[in-house]
């Protein structure tokens, strides 16, 4: 793939030398909203953590912008964890400022300006002095997203962004994800089991099969629904429908 920004070659991932996924290979085009989907326990979040550099593959290679994933590439990757993963003892502003304090030598004034800009981009302006305990689930996700965007990463990794949200909040977050992709050109990789989100934002995807421990389908989720390559993909993409 000529325009690939992420490339996985022969990846096996798991814990205690026991692979959850085996021999995974795929590429992600720059500027794409890419979905990693599959049933519970198939290894979606584990694969995402490996792509983020938080879990070392048991074998194989992960490249981001033609470089191996390591400390030098992490500034190009922002990550939204499932629950937002905000530090409860810090204000919203302090949470968002954390990566800037860690990875830059920006002045306090510049950091404050960036925090304000990212909160506005995430659709939650003016809440910098609040604490996570004062926020709704949807607001926590948006603050987590603002923090993930603090360093203007080329790549944004989202782990079940709509999990725990009501349908309206989830839909609003989907629209925000698409707006970030369109306006900033950010490559977005999203783990999700939420069909509404998958169909709304996914431009490309892989399906992970928990029995085969590997990829068994690839393509736009809407295309896979129209032309399912196997019964498991069809069952996953039509679950809950009569």
Task: In whole angstroms, give the CA distance from residue 163 to residue 172.
Answer: 13
Per-residue CA distances from 101 to 53, 108, 131 (Å): 20, 9, 19
Which of 220, 179, 218 minimizes the C-alpha distance to 202?
A: 220
Q: Concatenated DSSP letters for 22-80?
A: EEEEEEEETT-EEEEE-STTSSHHHHHHHHTTSS--SEEEEEETTEESSTTTGGGEEEE
The set of residues, in sequence order, having a beta carbon less than 8 Å from that of 125 and lying 6+ positions away, is 116, 119
Query: Considering Cα of 195, then 199, then 202, then 208, what sign does the dihedral take?
Result: positive
So what's the pLDDT on residue 208?
96
Task: In whole angstroms, give the CA distance from residue 137 to residue 140.
Answer: 5
From first to last of its 242 residues, what are the pLDDT tens digits of the chain?
A: 668 999 999 999 988 778 899 999 999 999 999 999 999 889 999 999 999 999 999 999 999 875 555 555 567 899 998 877 899 999 999 999 999 999 999 999 999 999 999 999 999 999 999 999 999 988 999 999 999 999 999 999 999 999 888 999 899 999 999 999 999 999 999 999 899 999 999 999 999 999 999 999 999 999 999 999 999 999 999 986 65
Residue that is written with structure tokens 């679950």 in the block: 239
The pTM (predicted TM-score) of the whole model is 0.91
So what's the pLDDT on residue 83?
75
Task: In whole angstroms, give the CA distance from residue 123 to residue 103.
Answer: 25
Task: In whole angstroms, give the CA distance from residue 67 to residue 6.
Answer: 9
- Angle 34-40-44 from CA coordinates, rounded to 5°: 35
Pairing between strand 33-37 and 59-64? unpaired
For the domain spanning 4-237, the CATH number is 3.40.50.300
Task: In whole angstroms, give the CA distance from residue 143 to residue 81.
Answer: 11
Task: In whole angstroms, give the CA distance from residue 183 to residue 178.
Answer: 8
């Amino acid at each position: 793939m000529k325009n690939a920004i992420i490339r996985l070659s022969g990846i096996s991932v798991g814990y205690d030398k026991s692979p959850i996924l085996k021999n995974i290979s795929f590429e992600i085009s720059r500027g794409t909203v890419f979905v990693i989907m599959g049933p519970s326990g198939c290894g979606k979040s584990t694969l995402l953590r490996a792509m983020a550099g938080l879990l070392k593959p048991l074998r194989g290679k992960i490249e981001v912008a033609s470089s191996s994933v390591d400390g030098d590439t992490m500034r190009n990757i922002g990550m939204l964890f499932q629950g937002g993963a905000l530090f409860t003892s810090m204000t919203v502003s302090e949470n968002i400022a954390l990566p800037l304090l860690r990875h830059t030598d920006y002045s306090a004034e510049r950091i404050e300006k960036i925090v304000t800009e990212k909160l506005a981009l995430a659709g939650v302006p003016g809440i910098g002095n609040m604490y996570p305990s004062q926020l709704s689930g949807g607001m926590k996700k948006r603050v987590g997203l603002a923090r993930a965007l603090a360093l203007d990463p080329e790549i944004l990794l989202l782990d079940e962004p709509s999990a725990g949200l009501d349908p309206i909040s989830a839909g609003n977050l989907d629209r925000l994800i698409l707006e970030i992709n369109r306006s900033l050109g950010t490559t977005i990789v999203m783990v999700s089991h939420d069909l509404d989100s998958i169909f709304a934002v996914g431009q490309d995807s892989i399906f992970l099969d928990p029995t085969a421990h590997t990829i068994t389908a690839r393509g736009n989720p809407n295309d896979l629904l129209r032309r399912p390559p196997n019964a498991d993909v069809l069952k996953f993409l039509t679950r809950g429908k009569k």
